[in-house]
Homo-oligomer: A and B are copies of this chain.
Amino acid sequence: MLNIHKVAEEAGVSVATVSRVINNQGTVAKKTQEKVEKVISRLNYEPNMLGRNLRNSESRLIMVLVPTISNPFYAQIVQGIEDIVRKENYNVFLCTTDSEPEREKVFLDYVRQKLTDGVIFMDPAVEVEMLQDLANRYPVIQCCEYNEDLNIPYISIDDTQASYKAVKHLITMGHEKIAIINSDETFQYARNRKKGYLKALEEYGLPIKDEWILKNSELNFEAGQNSMRKLLRADDKPTAIFAVSDILAIGALKRMNEEGLQAPEDIAVVGFDNIPFASMTNPALTTIAQPMYEIGSQAAKMLFQKINTPDEPVSSTLLDNELIIRESTLG
């Protein structure tokens, strides 16, 4: 086994001296230092991180829990996280949970088990008590999806206000029959976006119909296509659609295209997130831009607050969002 003892032995010094050289604390005589360094590079020695972290009870590792990486939405957020984390000389381990509680649990245990120093959690599906319990003892930040009943700092946007804005835009464009393609309402964001949708319709006295309110348990193109298929078969066809995710909106646009329909002439479509691909579609997609990078970097900053001053409370934030108007709603 190649370890610090072996190096010490080869160099004819004690392990303490080797350790001092590795963590260059400057208290080692020059020639001893050189001697040790020579042995280290000759043997190709790397300190074992388990031993080191165990001793230091610190890993300088952050875990980021995402449901999936197939939605580019997360890519930008992770970029924001990475940039801050690296600046602090930490590194990021990204873990995908598929929103499965058991998988989330396994990864969260890594925090309890001291493998990582903290966690940024998007889209938690795990039981709330267990999450709260974890957050009481370790640094945890909720990012994007959150539960405000918990005493865990979160960073997100005001989904209700954002979707209200999106739907109001459709109303301003003259639409009166507006459908929503939503995801699973177990998610807070889905409930909030529906709330904003309903609020806008009520405010303008527009009809609310069950057949215009669709839910999807999966969030992918196919779900968007399926939802659009259903809407095109509705007794009373909507003239505009608000999809709570660009992915769903793009699937919907595709379905229209397959049926020979045009956006916005036949049906206008608004998405949500402003993933890079949203501007690449034809027609380009009107959408709510979340400040993804900013969300990520803020989340990381909040996490470091918790790590560095565990006893001081970290305040939660809702960031601004922006309606990006493109061809899919512009007559």
Contacts and interface: CB of A to CB of B under 8 A. Distances in A.
A143 to B, nearest CB: 15
9 closest Cβ contacts across the A-B interface? A49-B113, A70-B75, A94-B94, A46-B112, A93-B93, A50-B54, A282-B282, A69-B69, A69-B75
Contacts of A220: 276
Interface stretch (A10-18, A103-111, A235-243): A103-111
A189 B282 CA distance: 30
How many copies, total? 2
A54 B44 contact: no
A92 interface: yes
Nearest to A282: B282
Interface in A61-96: 68-70, 72, 74-76, 78-79, 82, 91-96
Interface stretch (A32-40, A209-217, A249-257): A249-257
Interface string A38-64: 000000101111111110000100000
A151 interface: no
Given A69-B78, A276-B220, A91 B112 contact: no
A281 interface: yes
B96 A95 contact: no
Contacts of A93: 93-95
Nearest to A64: B94
B276 A277 contact: no
A221 B82 CA distance: 22
Contacts of A106: 91
